[in-house]
């Protein structure tokens, strides 16, 4: 175990105060990069080492699986007994509680957790049964049901609370039937993990008392992102001992669209009367110039606690901005900056990240990164466990684990194909619904149906297959079960044709097997339901920075992470801030917090980019600069701020910096345009090189540049005025140069 005095000596004056304040309610307002994880782990270590608190009586809740894993690893290095401590996301905590006691509210302990795809299928079936127009109400119903659960509202309470809402009767009926179908399938959706825990605590006081007594000290990270039901659970758990320690930053509250309440952190000291409040404002992550920009923008929000980040880090490189002619030009600029920095710094590709408000902007970056040979990974899109082939394979495990799960039944009975048609399955489903049984149980009562003899035999064979899997599962590990299922169903044979898509799917199946094997290694004694819970709670961001690749992600996907070099792209009105926030002060403030989060992910370098036009919603649109760029101008361009902003005419000297490179814009039809953004070298506008020998530039040709010296052409793109060459200069690296403008010439050997 570590020495507590040594741990405390590593804390600054702001950090040590909340660590030592162990009793009662404590709120820590922790600015971005202020070392809140160190504060949390140091406080837990202090409780164990100095206060002699049993680790089993400590809970630590954080926002992501990645953050929970990091906290566990840190604690394991400094104290003993961490295996008895609850350190997890709140959803994982709720699954653990529900696996133990959910039978008290009418569910089986082997419940399935439905993802968004499963949820959509159930809702579509609800609409069919209620004979409602799915095109009109499906999306609204899905959103309202999620909101209702986050606000702890039952279908009847929802109907009362939203009595003035159009279609409230229909929405309430949809909500009720959706709940009925989930319960028949012994399934919960993601929101239910919280709501059912809340209901369990509310209706069974002995269960709440058990956990409230167990956890003497409760720690909650990222408190600004909690919703109503999460706050309610936290209050319930802390009712016995009253020791609740929450850490968060109101300036980083960015999940209002999915129910998070910034009021939870802003009102904490009013809800918990007498709570102590501390602020962490010293940033350890970013340079002074990056923090100056972050402070400049976030101060425009009114719904926040007053604070200002500062650092003892260096001033660092200035924040760069770039205006592209279009989205491809913007992406080209980013690609060339990455290539340049890779050539002249010790950065790895994983040190770079490109952030955007909406995932749709990633296409141009994928295209340009591929062209420039830049490895990248996209986050914020499809999760691994939501891929079709993965869901198909897992559906067998879900049905083995939970025989009531009709969604799993319907998915795995059709993959691989068994010649069982939709008509047969529809008839079976209707029979089972009428009998009040699961479709799996319905296979034992086929003689009571009018299903034809041939179809009955196929259904009977399927039942025999699943029964065999269940017997195998009772005496084998999860990974062995998965391999057995894949073998006995000939699952991989559906991807036998040699195509790139099938190769990718087979690779994914292999990775699924690896995930099961790794889970067993990491969780000794874990059972099938534990593994399925882990797959349901996994996110695509859990694996960020595992590969040496540039991260391309939505801002929402990267909160809590940091990178040496960050590009914030798409800084146009209607993108960031998003169009739906216009006219709503509260939503606009959340968009500004998104901008703040994006900026404060950067450690050393920050680039802000936008485009004058974008292809959006089927046509090309002229874009206007984000209002956040205007708010940033006192920092980005303090001397010419008033004069230059009127038409977004930033002084090019101040606005565009290619690190003394000559870069071009890519036109909207492909190729390269000579009418690119103005480029400057040593304060002077680059002049056209009218004596350029366009025909002489080929791979292997030697050139001499007035600044970079002698180099070799390694790639050629475009023709004529649009000719671009990549040149490798000794001691400088690879530069992308416009032949028309770059002051260089071919060396005649």
Written as one string, the DSSP assignment of 580-603 is GGTT-HHHHHHHHHHHHHHHTTEE
Q: How many CB atoms lie within 10 A of CB 413?
A: 25
Separation CA 515–CA 81 (nearest Å):
26
Q: Catalogue the long-range contacts made by 4-7 (C-beta closer than 8 Å, 24 or more residues apart).
A: 4/45, 4/46, 4/49, 4/50, 7/42, 7/45, 7/46, 7/78
Please provide the DSSP assignment of 126-157 as one string.
HHHHHT--HHHHHHHHHHHHHHHHHTT--HHH
Pairing relationship of beta strands 58-62 and 86-89 according to DSSP bridges: parallel
CA atoms in the 13 A half-sphere facing the CB of 19: 28
Strand ranges, E, within 341-486: 352-356, 376-379
d(CA 619, CA 115): 34
Q: Which residues are paired to 724 by β-bridges? A: 717, 738
DSSP state string for 279-319: EE-B-SSS-HHHHHHHHHHHTT-SSS-----B-SS---SPP
| HSE toward the beta carbon, residue 368, CA cutoff 13 A | 29
Count Cα neighbours of 534 within 13 Å in the Cβ-side half-sphere. Answer: 18
Phi, psi of 622, rounded to the nearest 5 degrees? -80, 135
The helix-helix angle for 13-20 and 36-49 (nearest 10°) equals 40
Other beta carbons within 10 angstroms of residue 625's beta carbon come to 19
Report, as residue numbers or ranges, the catalytic residues. 36-37, 221-222, 252, 601
- Return d(Cα 380, Cα 225) in angstroms, integer: 18
Taking the C-alpha atoms of residue 386 and residue 182, their distance in angstroms, rounded to an integer, is 19
Contact 14, 35 (CB under 8 A): no
Whether cis (ω within 30° of 0) applies to the bond prior to 301 is no
- Tokens linked to 711: 């180099």
Q: Cα–Cα distance between 669 and 197 in angstroms, integer?
A: 55
Distances (CA, A) of 334 to 196, 319, 320, 328, 637: 46, 14, 11, 10, 21
Q: Is 586 exposed, middle or buried (0-12, 13-18, 19+ CB in 10 A)?
A: exposed
Q: Which residues contact 322 (CB under 8 A, 6 or more apart)?
A: 330, 333, 607, 608, 609, 610, 655, 656, 677
Among residues 563, 223, 614, 543, which one has the least CA distance to residue 377? 543
Of the candidates 288, 291, 296, 305, the one whose C-alpha atom is nearest the C-alpha of residue 253 is: 305
- Tokens for 57? 């009586």
How far is it, in rounded angstroms, from Cα 94 to Cα 100? Answer: 10
Distance CA(234)–CA(226), nearest Å, equals: 10
Residue 351 DSSP symbol:
G
Rounded to the nearest 5°, which phi and psi values hold at 201? -65, -40
Distance CA 587, CA 583 (A): 9
């Amino acid at each position: 175990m570590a020495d507590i005095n040594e741990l405390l000596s590593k804390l600054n004056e702001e950090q040590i105060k909340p660590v030592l304040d162990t009793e009662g309610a404590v709120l820590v307002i922790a600015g971005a990069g202020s070392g809140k994880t160190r504060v949390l782990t140091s406080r837990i270590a202090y409780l164990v080492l100095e206060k002699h608190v049993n680790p089993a009586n400590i809970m630590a809740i954080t926002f992501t699986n990645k953050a929970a894993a990091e906290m566990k690893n840190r604690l394991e290095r400094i104290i003993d007994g961490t295996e008895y401590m609850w350190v997890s996301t709140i959803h994982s905590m709720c699954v653990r509680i529900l696996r133990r006691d959910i039978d008290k509210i009418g569910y089986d302990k082997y419940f399935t957790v439905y993802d968004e795809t499963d949820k959509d299928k159930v809702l579509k079936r609800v609409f069919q049964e209620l004979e409602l127009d799915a095109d009109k109400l499906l999306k609204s119903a899905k959103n309202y049901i999620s909101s209702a659960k986050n606000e702890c509202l039952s279908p009847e309470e929802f109907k009362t609370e939203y009595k003035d809402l159009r279609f409230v009767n229909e929405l309430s009926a949809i909500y009720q039937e959706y709940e009925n179908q989930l319960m028949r399938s012994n399934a919960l959706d993601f929101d239910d993990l919280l709501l059912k825990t809340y209901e369990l605590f509310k209706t069974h006081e002995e269960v709440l008392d058990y956990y409230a007594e167990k956890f003497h000290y409760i720690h909650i990270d990222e408190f600004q992102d909690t919703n109503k039901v999460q706050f309610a659970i936290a209050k319930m758990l802390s009712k016995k001992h009253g020791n609740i320690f929450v850490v968060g930053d109101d300036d980083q509250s960015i999940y209002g669209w999915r129910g998070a309440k910034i009021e939870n952190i802003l009102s904490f000291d009013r809800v918990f009367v007498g709570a102590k409040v501390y602020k962490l404002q010293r940033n350890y992550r970013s340079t002074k110039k990056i923090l100056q920009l972050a402070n400049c923008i976030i101060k425009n929000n009114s719904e926040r606690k007053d604070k200002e980040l500062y650092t003892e880090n260096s001033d660092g490189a200035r924040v760069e901005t770039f205006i592209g002619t279009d989205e491809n030009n913007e992406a080209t600029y980013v690609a060339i900056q990455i290539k340049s920095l890779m050539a002249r710094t010790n950065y790895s590709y994983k040190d770079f990240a490109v952030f955007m408000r909406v995932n749709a902007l990633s296409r141009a970056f994928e295209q340009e990164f591929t062209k420039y040979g830049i490895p990248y990974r996209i986050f914020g899109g499809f999760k691994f466990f939501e891929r079709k082939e993965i869901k198909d394979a897992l559906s067998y495990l879900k049905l083995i684990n939970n025989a009531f799960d009709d969604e799993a039944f319907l998915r795995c009975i059709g993959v691989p194909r068994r010649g069982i048609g939709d008509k047969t399955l529809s008839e079976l489903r209707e029979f089972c619904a009428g009998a009040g049984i699961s479709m799996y149980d319905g296979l034992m009562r086929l003689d009571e149906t009018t299903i034809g003899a041939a179809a009955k035999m196929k259904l009977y064979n399927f039942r025999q297959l699943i029964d065999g899997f269940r017997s195998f599962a009772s005496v084998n590990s999860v990974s062995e079960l998965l391999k057995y299922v894949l073998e006995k169903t000939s699952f991989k044979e559906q991807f036998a044709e040699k195509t790139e898509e099938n190769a990718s799917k087979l690779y994914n199946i292999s990775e699924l097997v690896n995930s099961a094997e790794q889970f067993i290694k990491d969780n000794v004694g874990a059972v099938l339901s534990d593994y399925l819970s882990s797959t349901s709670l996994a996110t695509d961001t859990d694996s960020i920075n595992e590969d040496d690749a540039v991260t391309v992600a939505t801002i929402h996907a990267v909160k809590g992470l940091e990178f040496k070099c960050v590009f914030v792209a798409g800084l146009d009105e209607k993108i960031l801030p998003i169009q739906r926030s216009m006219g709503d002060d509260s939503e606009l403030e959340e968009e500004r917090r998104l901008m703040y989060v994006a900026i404060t992910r950067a450690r050393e370098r920050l680039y802000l980019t936008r485009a004058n036009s974008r292809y959006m919603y089927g046509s090309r649109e002229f874009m206007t600069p984000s209002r956040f760029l205007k708010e940033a101008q006192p920092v980005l361009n303090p001397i010419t701020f008033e004069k230059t902003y009127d038409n977004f005419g930033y002084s090019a000297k101040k606005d565009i910096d290619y690190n003394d490179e000559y870069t071009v814009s890519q036109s909207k039809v492909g190729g390269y345009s000579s009418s690119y953004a103005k480029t400057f070298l040593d304060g002077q506008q680059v002049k056209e090189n009218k004596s350029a020998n366009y025909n002489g530039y080929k791979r292997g040709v030697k050139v001499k540049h007035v600044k970079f010296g002698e180099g070799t052409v390694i790639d050629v793109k475009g023709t004529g005025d649009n000719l671009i060459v990549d040149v490798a200069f000794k001691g400088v690296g690879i530069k992308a140069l416009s032949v028309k403008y770059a002051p260089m010439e071919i060396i005649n050997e």
